[in-house]
Structure 1
Amino acid sequence: MSRGDELKELASDLSRAAERARGLGLPTTVYLLSMALVEVREAAVGTDDGHDDDTA
């Protein structure tokens, strides 16, 4: 599985976790998962553009 595919899978997992946390009434957890989701999506776009944003 490529790095881009792994990042897309991780984004999907984070999205599901954020929805679950929202349903459980955990606003801080939703916020943190949402921020992680933004970072993962940006990294996934970076792999689609041909650069490997692995500076974290």
Structure 2
Amino acid sequence: MIAMIDAQRKGKKPPKPAPKSKENVVDLASMLRKSLAKESKFQTETRRVLC
């Protein structure tokens, strides 16, 4: 970002942006909900077996 601003101030073309990484992006909130749902289901099944 700073390089783009400096280039504009000097009247030059801005540098090309860095290539996007190909890493998997994980929605942490979604993963937490799934994890809690699994845990809740496991606890419910365990209670039924123990009672």
**What TM-score do you get using the length of structure 1 for normalisation?**
0.43
Task: Tell me which of the two structures has the higher relative contact order, counting C-alpha pairs closer than 8 angstroms and 6 or more residues apart.
Answer: 1
Name the larger-Rg structure. Answer: 2
Higher helix share: 1
- TM-score normalized by structure 2? 0.47
